[in-house]
Structure 1
């Protein structure tokens, strides 16, 4: 079937090719094509003639329009030239005005630059003067309430407030109250019976009752008790040796003073903080001028007492090492115009030791209880103390003072007021806690959360408004409270740890009073002996505060 279809197709193609070949050979096809070409040629020739005519007309119209536009352009050019001249004149005027304006502007800019420079200089000077003013004002306002200055050194004295509520009652003893009478003493002299008045003797109507009114007159007097020892001297004619009876202990010089006189002068000079001159003058006045003790003897009493009480202080040193909590602090001392330090270590049970050191820092801590202590240290913010002990609690009394200083000198900040209120609240809560195992952990966590939030507030405030270059105490306090947060809040976690270092502060006031009286010491050994004596007095007051004089007398005796 396919072969038949192909054969038919080929045959049709062959016939068509034969027919076309025949037309070409006869010339008929050529004649047809020539006639067709002639017709098309005539048509295009007619179109070309028509287009040429139209082109000629268009060319004429173009020439006419061009001449017209040339006329218009010439008119416009003349108008443009006139306008250009006017514009040039106006432009020259505008240029002159622009030059004048530019000159005025340049002059104004120069003046503005001068004013701006003056303004910047004035602003810089103002900011610097404000910083200096803030620094000076902070220095002037520093007192015992917003710094570590003791109240005795402050210009403004401490305000004594009366928090008692008025009851409307008159002062003094109240009706129905027995009252506190003076203690009666044992009579040292025969009782004096006063005779009856004359009116009783003259009137027989007076009868004696069983009631007797007893009143005492108490006085003191200094009795000089002198014991004199005589010892005969014997001579050996064979050997030339001389001998006499042995004198009692303490009887060495021609005139000796026993422990009572030594204790009197020692306590007067050290415990009462009177000068050597006043102490010897007071004793001389009491004895009617019979005893005039030398200054050298009084000044040597500290050394003698310190050497005789060394075992007691060593025992106290060992006991303080076993205490779970210990206070420590230091203060400045003066020795012949040079500066030295006095350290104090105290435990909550009342034991305390003073140490004199020539330098501060690790050299000062060396040899004190703090050097070997392994418990919790309570102290002010002295970085040296952080190298000793197992843990640390900072004194929040100092923190409250520093926060108050920040409130006074940085009134535009809010974190210091919030932190001051929070610290007061935490200390009040801790003082009122009576639970043996310590405060409630949830309450403590709440305090810690508020503490962190206030620190974050401080961070934002100091980022927005940086601290003044002349007063950075508030900013430094914020950094310190952030870094040592654990050491500021340790008292909330351990019931044994106090919130303040007042124990050491109170003990150092004893030395400060003596320093204020002495002004300066002649040698460092005098300060060292004084510290040893003050340590022993504290230990003696702890054991038996009513018989210090007797015990000091026995030590000297």
Structure 2
């Protein structure tokens, strides 16, 4: 409340002492009003942070605790396995390893002799007790009868010690480490329970190092194939290496995965790893600013799942109608795109134009709602999102006119989720070498899984250089 000196003197009836007192009170009231406004903004932001979860922000699902989960996904209308799914029913084996016949002695009612007609068959599938198979290699020692030279036959190249673990142990160690996500201590304990032999941690690390070297060519095959793909997904997530923050980067498709570790998240890390700077197709990502650096020549497609979560958070916390309308438009647009893709037809141009026009109309309403919270230089969450939606409109709506562009970046997020699982089970990586080994092994294993290839036999074959892709 601001009053002129004349107004203050009028109120105080000309008494200067009362006028000075009133002026002082007005200054205090003005200061308190400004402070109250600052505190209200602070409370508003803290309430926003307390209300954030995996459905209205970028927080991971693991941070939700025991809260009942809700999802932005729309129901597909079907339950159970898709039509034509082969299922996993245990089938009868035509050549059982053992047959046990259960006979009848006499009739259970009158004790007369029985005539055998047929059998009812049931089969039990079970795992035999594992046992270690020991192969002894003997190199002949002989002496030349003519010159007296003592000689020895050569051992195979992979037999280097008087006693050692074979390829099966190495493959199983990589399998348990990078697929089942077990730490080394539990891997050793499992081997001891199954076989009675407990490899030391140093031995297990040596096995992982050997597997890492043998998978180098397979990893290069994956990288070359990804360069040739017209569209890839990219993302990164933080991991701890020696208690320092590093970043696990991924570039992947529905059938190939590549992971790599670096101590930087942005363009410095991407450039050092060398996959994205030379890629010329379409990259689906989450609008991280480093993807938009000038030297990158790929086409951008943004993850709408991230935008939906942000719109939901603003609609819930700030009660902004434009964010709710934008969320509804994106969901309906994706549903429409899915229907046309099932019909193998493009969305009509007039429909795409109508969606784009509605998109712009929604954003026109946004500035009026920003003013309710953001009047200073600092932009609100709502304003930042609206600016991003306006700036990257073609990249956000690309799925409407490009049938090969997905709606979200879930493919990359699924790859990185396994990195988080590894970290939760085993803790942080103790060395950068260990993180690098895990990244390569996980890349190959994830690719094998996507291509429906048996992981363990493939890892065994990689030790003899027989695993290749493409």
Is TM (by shorter chain) over 0.5? yes
Band the TM-score falls in, shorter-chain normalisation: 0.7 to 0.9
Q: Deviations over 1:47-86 (max 9, x none)?
A: xxxxxxxxxxxxxxxxxxxxxxxxxxxxxxxxxxxxxxxx
Match of 1:553 among 450, 460, 467: 460
Distance 1:101 1:356 in 2: 72
Distance 1:418 1:142 in 2: 20
- Equivalent in the alignment of 2:274: 368
CA shift at 1:455, angstroms?
Answer: 1.0
- Equivalent in the alignment of 2:189: 281
Q: Deviations over 1:283-315 (max 9, x none)?
A: 10112x2x1111112223333222212222222
For residue 433 of structure 1, give the secondary structure of its aligned residue in structure 2.
helix
Q: Deviations over 1:197-252 (max 9, x none)?
A: 6x637833463352312223332120221111223433569978542222234221
- 1:141-540 to structure 2, matched below 5 A, reads 141-157=51-67, 159=69, 182-185=90-93, 189-196=97-104, 200=107, 203-205=110-112, 207-220=114-127, 221-235=129-143, 242-287=150-195, 289=196, 291-347=197-253, 349-366=254-271, 367-387=273-293, 388-411=296-319, 413-434=320-341, 435-436=343-344, 438-463=346-371, 466=374, 472-540=380-448
Q: Deviations over 1:143-162 (max 9, x none)?
A: 11111122123335452789
- 1:107-126 to structure 2, matched below 5 A, reads 109-126=19-36
Distance 1:362 1:180 in 2: 45
Contact 2:175 2:455 in 1 (8 A): no
**C-alpha spacing 1:485/1:364, structure 2 compared with 1 (3 Å):** same
Q: Given the alignment of the two structures, is residue 138 of structure 1 paired with residue 44 of structure 2, yes or no?
A: no
Distance 1:517 1:122 in 2: 51
Contact 2:170 2:211 in 1 (8 A): no
Distance 2:377 2:113 in 1: 91
CA shift at 1:488, angstroms?
Answer: 1.1
Q: Give unmatched runs, 5+ long, in structure 1.
A: 1-98, 168-178
Distance 2:192 2:149 in 1: 41
Name the structure, 1 or 2, with higher relative contact order (CA <8 Å, separation 6+): 2
Distance 1:515 1:490 in 2: 35
Distance 2:438 2:11 in 1: 86
**C-alpha spacing 1:268/1:296, structure 2 compared with 1 (3 Å):** same
Contact 1:324 1:375 in 2 (8 A): yes
For residue 48 of structure 2, give the secondary structure of its aligned residue in structure 1.
helix
Distance 1:471 1:404 in 2: 18
Distance 1:321 1:165 in 2: 37
**C-alpha spacing 1:293/1:468, structure 2 compared with 1 (3 Å):** farther
- 1:48-67 to structure 2, matched below 5 A, reads none
Kindly tell me the number of residue pairs found equivalent between the two proteins: 442
Bigger helix fraction: 1
Q: With structure 1 as the length reference, what TM-score do the two structures score?
A: 0.72
- Residue range with higher mean Cα deviation, 184-193 or 373-382: 184-193
**C-alpha spacing 1:215/1:464, structure 2 compared with 1 (3 Å):** closer
**C-alpha spacing 1:139/1:461, structure 2 compared with 1 (3 Å):** closer
Distance 1:449 1:100 in 2: 58
Contact 1:365 1:371 in 2 (8 A): yes
CA shift at 1:351, angstroms?
Answer: 1.3
Contact 2:284 2:409 in 1 (8 A): yes
Q: With structure 2 as the length reference, what TM-score do the two structures score?
A: 0.85
CA shift at 1:276, angstroms?
Answer: 0.6
Q: Deviations over 1:375-430 (max 9, x none)?
A: 1111001111123233211100000111111112212x321111111111112222
Distance 2:233 2:88 in 1: 38
